[in-house]
């Protein structure tokens, strides 16, 4: 099993190209099930989750081809992927695939809308909370679907004549259910209105792609999304948005270690609250046409109080990274997690590096320490694993991060990007 070895203490300097967003690429790939024409996606990141979704879509009969590397192309640039679901051969998403990645459950919306039937295993993914699918299923029922749970599978059937538009009000903001409902509603008869919809940039990215395919969608990025159903969707070409979580992660790494880095391609409009927090901690941030420039000259880190919230608030997917950052702040920070009930599993591993963190329910109190010390640590989930990398970059001596397959799910060539900027970091295979 691969490990990542880090020797801390190096400042980061240079340019880090930001990859396409995993959280945008996955629903965009799933949207290919809505049409019998080819959907071409540019800037698709090379990640374990993307590879797994290719297998899942291939199981349904989607023909997937990837463009070869072009002359002069940077090895860190994204792939161009062509997805053609001209004929769907299997409407079942099996447990052995879906259990490995939660987002693969989302195929239920396009399959149901296009074919009138879907049988999808209940999902898996990171062990960071229950994350039930009740809101997904209630939304599909509102569109007219008949649902049954059979031996761990959701069996969904559309009424005769297909799904029909409806007004759906989510009791709480849910990114996944917003994605699924929006995709299913594109082929439903009549108008669908989604109230209390998620406003994340990835929702907007999916809506933009669906509109290119012929969907009629307005309001994406606001709490109310309207979809007027159409008879069919066509193929299209769309570039995956840059990954705001990757950009925020590297911004915190630079703030933690000190240095001067351009996050090439990063979009400040998707990181408004995280950038505010980083400025409060002590980073100097300049927004440019090329991306986001992060600088810290070695001045001390300041403590902050942060609560995770749906977009445009501070994202839960950056909570672990922020916690690692403020471990060396001059004072006491408080981080309240409101999205997932089990997302502090990185605390005990950061403590192995010398962090002083106290938990009280969903609030972590972080008492800044003078120095972190390198140690062997264990990754517990995707975002927790990269928080250990950030801690290791600033720790004295060697840190060995074990079980890095979590990292490979969401960060493309992380050690290469950091080593290019002066970090002493390497992957050890086996």
Q: What is the reported pLDDT for 127?
A: 39
Which of 197, 224, 239 is the endpoint of a domain? 239
* One domain for residues 318 and 201: no
- Do residues 371 and 354 lie in contact, with contact meaning Cβ atoms separated by under 8 Å? yes
Residue 36: strand, helix, or coil:
coil
Q: Tell me how many domains the chain contains.
A: 2
Do residues 201 and 293 both lie within one domain?
no
Q: Is 69 helix (H, G, I), strand (E, B) or coil?
A: coil
Residue 22 annotated as binding?
yes
| E strand or H helix at 199 | none
Q: Which pLDDT belongs to residue 73?
A: 62
- 7 and 33 together in one domain: no
Structural domain harbouring 318: 3-19+242-428
Does 126 participate in catalysis according to the annotation? yes
- Please identify which of the residues 126, 209, 327, 421 carries the catalytic annotation: 126
* pLDDT tens for the 430 residues of the chain, in order: 889 999 999 999 999 999 999 999 999 999 999 999 999 999 999 999 999 999 999 999 999 999 976 655 666 778 999 999 999 999 999 988 888 888 889 999 999 999 999 999 987 543 334 446 889 999 999 999 999 988 889 999 999 999 999 999 999 999 999 999 999 999 999 999 999 999 999 999 999 999 999 999 999 999 999 999 999 999 999 999 999 999 999 999 999 999 999 999 999 999 999 999 999 999 999 999 999 999 998 789 999 999 999 999 999 999 999 999 999 999 999 999 998 766 788 999 999 999 999 999 999 999 999 999 999 999 887 778 899 999 999 999 999 999 888 888 889 999 999 999 999 999 998 7
Whether residue 212 is annotated as binding a ligand: the answer is no
Give yes or no: residues 93 and 136 share one domain. yes
Q: What is the largest CA-CA distance in the chain?
A: 67
Same domain? For 54 and 183 the reply is yes
CB atoms within 10 A of CB 221: 17
Is 135 labelled a binding residue? yes
pTM above 0.75, yes or no: yes
Assess whether 220 and 333 both reside in one domain: no
- Same domain? For 152 and 249 the reply is no
User: What's the CA gap between 78 and 239, in Å, rounded?
Assistant: 10
């Amino acid at each position: 099993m691969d490990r990542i070895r880090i020797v801390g203490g190096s400042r980061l300097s240079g340019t880090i190209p930001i990859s396409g967003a995993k959280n945008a690429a996955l629903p965009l790939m799933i949207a290919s099930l809505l049409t019998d024409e080819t959907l071409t996606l540019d800037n698709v990141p090379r990640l374990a989750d993307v590879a797994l979704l290719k297998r899942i879509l291939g199981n349904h009969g989607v023909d997937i081809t990837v463009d070869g590397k072009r002359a002069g192309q940077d090895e860190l640039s994204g792939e161009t992927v062509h997805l053609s679901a001209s004929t769907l051969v299997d409407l079942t998403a099996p447990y052995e695939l879906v259990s490995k990645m939660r987002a693969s459950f989302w195929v239920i919306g396009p399959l149901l809308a296009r074919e009138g039937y879907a049988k999808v295993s209940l999902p898996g993914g990171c062990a960071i909370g229950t994350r039930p699918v009740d809101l997904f299923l209630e939304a599909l029922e509102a569109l007219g679907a008949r649902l049954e749970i059979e031996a761990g599978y959701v069996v969904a059937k559309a009424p005769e004549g297909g799904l029909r538009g409806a007004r759906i009000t989510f009791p709480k903001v849910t990114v996944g259910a917003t994605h699924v409902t929006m995709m299913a509603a594109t082929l439903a008869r009549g108008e669908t209105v989604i109230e209390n919809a998620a406003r994340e940039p990835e929702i907007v990215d999916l809506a933009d792609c669906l509109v290119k395919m012929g969907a009629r969608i307005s309001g994406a990025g606001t709490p109310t999304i309207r979809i007027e159903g159409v008879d069919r969707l066509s193929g299209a070409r769309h570039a995956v948005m840059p990954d705001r979580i990757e950009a925020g992660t590297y911004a915190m790494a630079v703030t933690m270690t000190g240095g001067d880095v351009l996050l090439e391609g990063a979009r400040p409009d998707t990181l408004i609250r995280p950038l505010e927090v980083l400025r409060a901690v002590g980073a100097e941030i300049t927004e440019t046409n090329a991306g986001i420039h992060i600088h810290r000259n070695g001045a001390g880190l300041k403590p902050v109080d942060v609560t995770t919230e749906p977009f445009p608030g501070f994202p839960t997917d950056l909570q672990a990274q922020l916690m690692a950052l403020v471990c060396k702040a001059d004072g006491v920070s408080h981080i309240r997690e409101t999205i997932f009930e089990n997302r502090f599993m990185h605390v005990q591993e950061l403590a192995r590096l010398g962090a002083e963190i106290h938990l009280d329910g969903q609030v972590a109190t972080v008492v800044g320490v003078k120095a972190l010390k390198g140690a062997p640590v264990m990754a517990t989930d995707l975002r927790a694993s990269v928080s250990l990398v950030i801690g290791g970059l600033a720790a004295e001596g060697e840190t060995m991060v074990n079980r890095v397959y979590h990292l490979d799910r969401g960060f493309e060539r992380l050690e290469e990007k950091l080593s290019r900027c002066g970090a002493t970091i390497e992957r050890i295979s086996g």
